[in-house]
Chains A and B, each alone.
Chain A
Amino acid sequence: MTSQTPAQAAMAELLVDALNLEDITAAEIDPNAPLFGDGLGLDSIDALEIALAISQKYGVQMQAEDKATRNAFATLASLTEFVEANKA
């Protein structure tokens, strides 16, 4: 796995906290592995929890109808990039 950038590491912490993930530590999340489906196995309720945590921490609102957001949820790397690009 590629190593996490500082921004990715912060986002990984947010994911582990928001989702109460028990089987994986923040440092273990591969920046380029899929978050949903076969990867971390996250689902729509997780997406909602992540979006809430992101809006509270970074002030960025996610939108499912927006293609950029859907793409952002692909991996830790893409999620971090999206939030960095959109935060105030």
Chain B
Amino acid sequence: MTQAALCQRLLTDALAQVNTPLAALGGQTGLITCAEFIGQAQRLAERLPSSPWVINLCENRYLFMLAFCAAVLRGQTNLLPQNRAPATLEQLATNYPCAYILHQGLDSLPADIAACNINQQSLLGDAATAIPDIPLDRLAAIAFTSGSTGQPKPNLKSWHTFVESSRINAQHMLPGRQTTHYELATVPPQHMWGLETSVLLPLFAPICVSDAKPLFPQDVQQALSRLPEPRLLVSTPVHLRALTQSGIHWPTTTRVLCATAPLAPSLAQDVEQQFGGDLVEVFGCSEVGSMACRQTATEDDWQLFTGLNFVNTEGDAYQVQADHLPDTVPLQDLIAFTPTGRFRLLGRNQDMLEIAGKRGSLQELNHILLTTPGVLDGVVFMPDEEGQGTRRPVALAVIDKTQTDKATLLARFAERLDPVFIPRPLVLVDALPREENGKLPRGKLLGFWKELR
């Protein structure tokens, strides 16, 4: 097999529910069938500028999905940056010459990168009568994750990878393969968790996804209520905590999927009780995608997805291997298999930051701090868990006050990072508690931090 269909659904199936009036669709809202979607994607594909690379910045989930599939149909690769900071886009355009930005109407765009506004195209017209095939080796997307050196790390995703991983995901994440589930996601479509569950899954499994990306509990309640049963909610621990504590009465939701950060069993139990359905927590990473799941309210151990293998390399370290992945991927977490064939997470990689579905690198934050002119010494770290709020990275800096100041440091972070990763607080100190050999052990650092507060 060298090709696979763009969409493994019936042409008459409902694929998406559009709530937002979009100029590209003439302001029409409501359910969109697979045939309508493919017709629109084909029309958009014909009108895209010529280039091997497209930076897909569409924010509306349905427009993102259209742009994503139009690019794949046209043989263009979706570049999915780790954030939208100006420096990030400039760097992408440098590394991928001729890349253009596909957006839905952004006020400020980098002046020297070509751009195409999807809302200036009229995509309404005849529905498709057949589902097109895509070569399996086509490079559908490059998902960037924050790298430790300040250079983002490209994760290559072929059509083959997406087709197979979606088939596996559908098998493990959905309650049944027959009934259509109506999905709402609180996560953005362009990061791996949202991409897998709210863009790819509807193409390959009986799911009709809402274009909404609600933030506040009341918005989630309204968007969920607009969907028929059975409902599916895709979210993160940060969002679920806000939902369960809001005091809102939730419409019955058959399945809630949660990923991106460890979920407390007590929160999982609250979710199941308030939503009247199962909560399935998913374990994954950007390099591979989703890999395992558990019903956190009642289970400690993770069930590895079929088709994926964890190969022991040394001690508790493993590599992930699968037919649909181009290479083996070292697992960032240490694990231990239990006699039942499930596994337990022993510890997370200290460098990795996951906040609200976005992934960052502590090393990258440190790199930004230490390469700022006027910074003599400094460190960015995650403090230990305290209270319920979202944890933020903390920065301590020793600076030459004649050369820089706190506002300049914060501005440097803001130019390069998603806002959630900007250190808070950033504290200026006279010196860091380094040992004689220059090392800064975590215990000593945390003690110093505690004294500062």
Contacts and interface: CB of A to CB of B under 8 A. Distances in A.
Interface of A: 18-23, 41, 43-45, 47-49, 51-52, 55-56, 59, 61-65, 69
25 contacts: A20-B392, A21-B425, A22-B453, A43-B422, A44-B356, A44-B420, A45-B390, A45-B420, A47-B215, A48-B215, A48-B242, A49-B242, A51-B217, A51-B242, A52-B242, A55-B246, A55-B247, A61-B218, A61-B248, A62-B216, A62-B218, A63-B216, A64-B216, A65-B214, A65-B219
A61 B246 contact: yes
Interface in B233-250: 238-239, 241-242, 245-248
Contacts of B419: 41, 43-44
Interface in B127-178: none
Contacts of B335: none
Contact of B216 (A20, A23, A41, A51): A51
B112 to A, nearest CB: 24
CB-based closest 9 A-B pairs = A43-B419, A22-B425, A61-B218, A63-B218, A51-B216, A52-B242, A62-B216, A64-B215, A23-B425
Nearest to A65: B219
Given A23-B425, A43-B419, A48-B238, A61 B389 contact: no
Contacts of A61: 216-218, 246, 248
A8 to B, nearest CB: 22
Interface string B348-363: 0000000110000000
A60 B214 CA distance: 17
Nearest to A51: B216
A78 B426 CA distance: 28
Contacts of B222: 63, 65
A55 B217 contact: yes
Nearest to A23: B425
Nearest to B221: A61
Contacts of B434: none
Nearest to B452: A22
B410 interface: yes
B442 interface: no
A55 to B, nearest CB: 5
A44 B215 contact: yes
A59 B248 CA distance: 10
Contacts of B355: 45
B182 to A, nearest CB: 18
Given A45-B238, A45-B355, A18 B389 contact: yes
Contacts of A21: 424-425
Contacts of A18: 389
Contacts of A52: 217, 241-242, 245-246
